[in-house]
Amino acid sequence: MDYPDLKVIGERIRTARFLLKLTLQEFASKTGIGYASLSRIESGKKVINIKQLIKICQITDKPLTDYLQEGNSKLDFYFPPSYRKS
């Protein structure tokens, strides 16, 4: 199984933050990740550790697989297939 690169994971984290209507500073405060580190994670320039990603999952109310699963499109991230009509 292939995993998405850091840039894709960062984009998914940024998208989740936007959906919560949180600034980078607010999100950093909630996650306990430093502002600069979170900015670098979102831009794909820094590796996120599993503890940080789990905390983000708790705050965004999204499963870990939403961030790590290959092939997750933006549509799937906003509206998982289980929520869409066939």
pLDDT tens digits, 39-67: 999 999 999 999 999 999 999 999 998 88
Q: Buried b vs exposed e over 38-48: b needs ≥16 C-beta within 10 Å?
A: bbbbbebebeb
- CA 30, 36, 41: angle at the middle one, nearest 5? 80
Full-model pTM: 0.79
pLDDT higher than 50, residue 37: yes
Residue 52 Cα to chain centre, angstroms: 10
Instruction: Give the Cα separation of 85 and 26 in Å (integer).
Output: 34
More confident residue, 36 or 3: 36
Q: Comparing C-alpha atoms, which of 3, 31, 1, 70 is closest to residue 14? A: 31
CB 70 within 8 A of CB 1: yes
Structural domains in the chain plus CATH codes:
6-68 (1.10.260.40)
